[in-house]
Chain A
Amino acid sequence: QVQLVGSGGGVVQPGRSLRLSCVVSGFTFSNYAMHWVRQAPGKGLEWVAVISYDGSNKYYADSVKGRFTISRDNSKNTLYLQMNSLRAEDTALYYCAKDTTIFGVASGFDYWGQGTLVTVSS
Protein backbone atom coordinates (compact mmCIF):
# COMPACT_ATOMS: atom_id res chain seq x y z
CA GLN A 1 0.00 0.00 0.00
CA VAL A 2 1.02 3.64 -0.36
CA GLN A 3 3.23 4.93 2.43
CA LEU A 4 4.89 8.30 3.00
CA VAL A 5 7.23 8.44 5.97
CA GLY A 6 8.56 11.82 6.99
CA SER A 7 11.59 12.42 9.17
CA GLY A 8 14.16 15.03 10.11
CA GLY A 9 12.11 17.23 12.40
CA GLY A 10 13.31 18.47 15.75
CA VAL A 11 14.06 21.51 17.88
CA VAL A 12 16.24 24.14 16.24
CA GLN A 13 17.27 27.67 17.15
CA PRO A 14 16.07 30.66 15.13
CA GLY A 15 18.29 31.35 12.14
CA ARG A 16 19.50 27.76 11.88
CA SER A 17 18.77 25.13 9.24
CA LEU A 18 17.03 21.77 9.06
CA ARG A 19 16.37 19.26 6.29
CA LEU A 20 13.24 17.16 6.19
CA SER A 21 12.94 13.91 4.26
CA CYS A 22 9.96 11.90 3.09
CA VAL A 23 10.51 8.34 1.87
CA VAL A 24 7.67 6.93 -0.19
CA SER A 25 6.62 3.45 -1.26
CA GLY A 26 3.67 1.74 -2.87
CA PHE A 27 3.52 3.88 -6.03
CA THR A 28 5.82 5.05 -8.82
CA PHE A 29 7.34 8.11 -7.17
CA SER A 30 8.78 9.52 -10.40
CA ASN A 31 5.30 9.77 -11.95
CA TYR A 32 3.85 12.31 -9.51
CA ALA A 33 4.37 15.80 -8.21
CA MET A 34 4.90 16.10 -4.47
CA HIS A 35 4.08 18.77 -1.89
CA TRP A 36 4.99 19.91 1.58
CA VAL A 37 2.13 21.21 3.71
CA ARG A 38 2.50 22.44 7.28
CA GLN A 39 0.20 22.89 10.25
CA ALA A 40 1.15 25.12 13.17
CA PRO A 41 -0.02 23.89 16.58
CA GLY A 42 -3.77 24.30 16.83
CA LYS A 43 -3.98 25.98 13.43
CA GLY A 44 -5.06 25.13 9.90
CA LEU A 45 -3.23 23.72 6.92
CA GLU A 46 -0.75 25.87 5.00
CA TRP A 47 0.66 24.81 1.65
CA VAL A 48 4.44 25.22 1.58
CA ALA A 49 5.89 24.00 -1.72
CA VAL A 50 5.44 21.72 -4.72
CA ILE A 51 7.88 19.95 -7.03
CA SER A 52 6.96 18.41 -10.36
CA TYR A 53 7.49 14.74 -11.16
CA ASP A 54 10.98 15.27 -12.57
CA GLY A 55 12.08 18.12 -10.32
CA SER A 56 12.10 20.66 -13.14
CA ASN A 57 9.38 22.87 -11.69
CA LYS A 58 9.20 24.14 -8.12
CA TYR A 59 6.87 26.66 -6.50
CA TYR A 60 6.76 28.06 -2.99
CA ALA A 61 4.43 29.90 -0.65
CA ASP A 62 5.46 33.52 -0.17
CA SER A 63 6.06 32.84 3.53
CA VAL A 64 8.98 30.50 2.76
CA LYS A 65 10.23 31.74 -0.61
CA GLY A 66 13.97 32.33 -0.59
CA ARG A 67 14.45 30.35 2.63
CA PHE A 68 13.13 26.87 1.84
CA THR A 69 14.10 24.57 -1.05
CA ILE A 70 12.13 21.55 -2.17
CA SER A 71 13.92 18.75 -4.00
CA ARG A 72 13.57 15.08 -4.84
CA ASP A 73 15.68 12.04 -5.63
CA ASN A 74 13.63 9.70 -7.80
CA SER A 75 16.28 6.99 -7.55
CA LYS A 76 15.76 6.93 -3.77
CA ASN A 77 11.99 7.54 -3.73
CA THR A 78 12.66 10.47 -1.44
CA LEU A 79 11.34 14.03 -1.18
CA TYR A 80 13.26 16.72 0.69
CA LEU A 81 12.67 20.13 2.21
CA GLN A 82 15.74 22.16 3.05
CA MET A 83 14.75 24.87 5.53
CA ASN A 84 17.18 27.74 6.14
CA SER A 85 16.95 30.90 8.25
CA LEU A 86 14.26 29.32 10.38
CA ARG A 87 11.90 31.54 12.34
CA ALA A 88 9.62 30.92 15.29
CA GLU A 89 6.63 31.13 12.96
CA ASP A 90 7.95 28.11 11.02
CA THR A 91 7.11 25.92 14.03
CA ALA A 92 4.67 23.34 12.72
CA LEU A 93 3.95 19.75 11.83
CA TYR A 94 5.25 19.29 8.30
CA TYR A 95 3.40 16.85 6.05
CA CYS A 96 4.62 15.49 2.74
CA ALA A 97 1.78 14.78 0.34
CA LYS A 98 1.43 13.05 -3.01
CA ASP A 99 -0.24 14.91 -5.85
CA THR A 100 -2.62 13.20 -8.27
CA THR A 101 -0.78 14.57 -11.34
CA ILE A 102 2.74 15.03 -12.66
CA PHE A 103 2.94 18.82 -12.31
CA GLY A 104 0.98 19.46 -9.12
CA VAL A 105 -0.94 22.47 -10.32
CA ALA A 106 -4.60 22.80 -9.31
CA SER A 107 -4.86 19.14 -8.33
CA GLY A 108 -5.57 17.38 -5.07
CA PHE A 109 -3.31 15.52 -2.67
CA ASP A 110 -4.39 11.91 -2.36
CA TYR A 111 -1.89 10.54 0.15
CA TRP A 112 -0.24 12.19 3.14
CA GLY A 113 2.60 11.30 5.44
CA GLN A 114 2.22 11.20 9.21
CA GLY A 115 3.96 14.52 9.65
CA THR A 116 7.27 15.49 11.24
CA LEU A 117 7.37 18.20 13.92
CA VAL A 118 9.66 21.19 13.60
CA THR A 119 10.04 23.47 16.60
CA VAL A 120 11.99 26.71 16.23
CA SER A 121 12.92 28.06 19.61
CA SER A 122 15.88 29.49 21.43
Chain B
Amino acid sequence: QSVLTQPPSVSGAPGQRVTISCTGSSSNIGAGYDVHWYQQLPGTAPKLLIYGNSNRPSGVPDRFSGSKSGTSASLAITGLQAEDEADYYCQSYDNSLSGSVFGGGTKLTVL
Protein backbone atom coordinates (compact mmCIF):
# COMPACT_ATOMS: atom_id res chain seq x y z
CA GLN B 1 0.00 0.00 0.00
CA SER B 2 1.39 3.37 -1.02
CA VAL B 3 1.37 6.29 1.40
CA LEU B 4 -0.12 8.48 -1.33
CA THR B 5 -3.24 7.10 -3.03
CA GLN B 6 -3.85 7.44 -6.75
CA PRO B 7 -6.50 5.81 -8.96
CA PRO B 8 -4.97 2.84 -10.79
CA SER B 9 -6.22 4.02 -14.15
CA VAL B 10 -7.95 6.86 -15.97
CA SER B 11 -8.91 7.24 -19.60
CA GLY B 12 -10.12 9.85 -22.02
CA ALA B 13 -10.61 10.52 -25.70
CA PRO B 14 -8.27 12.74 -27.67
CA GLY B 15 -8.94 16.40 -26.95
CA GLN B 16 -10.67 15.71 -23.65
CA ARG B 17 -9.62 16.70 -20.15
CA VAL B 18 -8.68 14.22 -17.44
CA THR B 19 -7.63 14.61 -13.84
CA ILE B 20 -5.57 12.35 -11.62
CA SER B 21 -5.94 12.63 -7.87
CA CYS B 22 -3.33 12.05 -5.20
CA THR B 23 -4.59 11.67 -1.65
CA GLY B 24 -2.31 11.82 1.35
CA SER B 25 -2.58 12.56 5.04
CA SER B 26 -1.59 14.98 7.77
CA SER B 27 2.00 13.73 7.78
CA ASN B 28 2.66 14.50 4.12
CA ILE B 29 0.49 16.62 1.82
CA GLY B 30 -1.65 17.84 4.70
CA ALA B 31 1.45 18.96 6.57
CA GLY B 32 2.13 21.45 3.82
CA TYR B 33 4.80 19.59 1.87
CA ASP B 34 4.93 20.17 -1.85
CA VAL B 35 3.61 17.65 -4.34
CA HIS B 36 5.49 16.80 -7.52
CA TRP B 37 4.27 14.85 -10.53
CA TYR B 38 6.14 12.57 -12.93
CA GLN B 39 5.30 11.08 -16.30
CA GLN B 40 6.75 7.70 -17.18
CA LEU B 41 6.40 6.66 -20.80
CA PRO B 42 6.66 2.91 -21.49
CA GLY B 43 10.20 1.63 -21.11
CA THR B 44 11.67 4.97 -20.05
CA ALA B 45 12.77 6.71 -16.86
CA PRO B 46 10.31 9.03 -15.10
CA LYS B 47 10.27 12.68 -16.15
CA LEU B 48 9.44 15.60 -13.87
CA LEU B 49 6.14 17.05 -15.06
CA ILE B 50 5.04 19.37 -12.25
CA TYR B 51 7.06 20.57 -9.26
CA GLY B 52 6.08 22.56 -6.21
CA ASN B 53 2.38 21.66 -6.62
CA SER B 54 1.74 23.69 -9.75
CA ASN B 55 4.95 24.66 -11.54
CA ARG B 56 5.97 23.32 -14.93
CA PRO B 57 9.62 22.73 -15.82
CA SER B 58 10.79 24.27 -19.05
CA GLY B 59 9.53 22.30 -22.03
CA VAL B 60 6.43 20.84 -20.38
CA PRO B 61 3.31 21.91 -22.32
CA ASP B 62 0.79 24.09 -20.52
CA ARG B 63 -1.80 21.36 -21.14
CA PHE B 64 -0.44 19.92 -17.89
CA SER B 65 -1.35 21.64 -14.63
CA GLY B 66 -1.23 20.80 -10.95
CA SER B 67 -3.06 21.89 -7.85
CA LYS B 68 -3.13 21.09 -4.15
CA SER B 69 -5.70 21.49 -1.43
CA GLY B 70 -5.72 20.10 2.08
CA THR B 71 -4.48 16.53 2.07
CA SER B 72 -4.87 16.06 -1.70
CA ALA B 73 -3.40 17.15 -4.98
CA SER B 74 -4.47 16.81 -8.60
CA LEU B 75 -2.89 16.67 -12.01
CA ALA B 76 -5.01 17.89 -14.90
CA ILE B 77 -4.31 17.21 -18.55
CA THR B 78 -6.31 19.10 -21.15
CA GLY B 79 -6.43 18.53 -24.90
CA LEU B 80 -5.47 14.87 -24.50
CA GLN B 81 -3.07 13.54 -27.10
CA ALA B 82 -2.06 9.98 -27.92
CA GLU B 83 1.47 10.75 -26.74
CA ASP B 84 0.15 11.44 -23.23
CA GLU B 85 -0.51 7.74 -22.74
CA ALA B 86 1.80 6.88 -19.84
CA ASP B 87 2.00 6.20 -16.11
CA TYR B 88 1.77 9.21 -13.82
CA TYR B 89 3.10 9.39 -10.26
CA CYS B 90 2.73 11.93 -7.49
CA GLN B 91 5.48 12.41 -4.91
CA SER B 92 5.76 14.28 -1.63
CA TYR B 93 7.58 14.15 1.69
CA ASP B 94 6.35 12.38 4.80
CA ASN B 95 7.57 13.63 8.16
CA SER B 96 6.63 10.46 10.03
CA LEU B 97 8.76 8.39 7.63
CA SER B 98 11.45 11.06 7.24
CA GLY B 99 11.59 10.48 3.54
CA SER B 100 10.02 10.96 0.16
CA VAL B 101 6.93 8.98 -0.77
CA PHE B 102 5.31 8.16 -4.10
CA GLY B 103 1.77 7.41 -5.09
CA GLY B 104 1.05 4.00 -6.54
CA GLY B 105 0.84 5.42 -10.04
CA THR B 106 -1.99 5.98 -12.51
CA LYS B 107 -2.07 4.54 -15.99
CA LEU B 108 -3.55 6.99 -18.48
CA THR B 109 -5.13 5.46 -21.55
CA VAL B 110 -6.02 7.67 -24.51
CA LEU B 111 -9.00 6.03 -26.18
Contacts and interface: CB of A to CB of B under 8 A. Distances in A.
A112 B34 contact: no
A61 B99 contact: yes
Given A44-B104, A45-B102, A114-B45, A106 B97 contact: no
B27 to A, nearest CB: 12
Contacts of A115: 45
The main secondary structure of chain A at its interface with chain B is strand
Interface in A82-122: 95, 100, 105-115
Interface residues of B, number: 27
Task: Determine the interface band of chain A, counting residues with CB < 8 A from chain B.
Answer: 20 to 34
B51 interface: yes
B62 to A, nearest CB: 18
Given A44-B103, A45-B40, A47-B100, 4 more contacts: A44-B104, A47-B101, A59-B98, A113-B45
